[in-house]
Amino acid sequence: MKRRAANALLVAIALAGVACKNTGASPEVPTWHKRPNWALGVESRRVLTAENSVHGEDYERGRPELDVKRNRIFVGTADRALYALRAEDLSTIWRFQTLSYVQCEPLYEPDENVVYFGSNDGALYKIGADHGDLVWRFSTNAEIARRPLLSGGTLYVTNSNDTIVAVDPGTGELRWTQHRTPAYGMEIAGYAGVSAQGGRVYTSFSDGRVFAFDAADGRERWSADLSAEAEAQGPDIPKYLDADATPLPVDTSQGTLVMAASYAGGVYALDAATGARVWASEKAKGVVELSLWDEPEHPSRDGGPAIPRRRMLLAASGTTGLWAIDVDDGRVLWRRSLPEGGVSAPVAAAGAVLLSTTRYGLFLISPVDGKVIDGIDTGTGFAQTPAAHGRRAFVMTNGGALLGIHLDAPRAR
Which is nearest to 10 in space by CA: 41, 43, 34?
34
Backbone angles phi, psi at 124, to 5 degrees: -105, 130
Residue 143 burial by CB count (10 A; 0-12/13-18/19+): exposed, middle or buried? buried
Residue type, 322: L
Confidence band of 29 (pLDDT split at 50, 70, 90): very low
CA-only gyration radius of the chain, Å: 21
Q: What's the confidence (pLDDT) of residue 160?
A: 93
Q: Is the pLDDT of residue 21 over 50?
A: no
Q: What's the confidence (pLDDT) of residue 36?
A: 54
- Reported pTM: 0.87
Confidence band of 257 (pLDDT split at 50, 70, 90): very high
Residue-wise pLDDT tens digits, 273-320: 999 999 999 999 999 999 999 988 878 777 788 888 889 999 999 889
Please, are residues 335 and 321 in contact by the beta-carbon 8 Å criterion?
yes
Backbone angles phi, psi at 332, to 5 degrees: -80, 120
Q: What's the confidence (pLDDT) of residue 205?
A: 92
Residue 85 burial by CB count (10 A; 0-12/13-18/19+): exposed, middle or buried? buried
Fold of the domain spanning 64-153+167-177: Lipocalin (2.40.128)
Which residues, in sequence order, are CB contacts of 299 under 8 Å at separation 6+? 306, 307
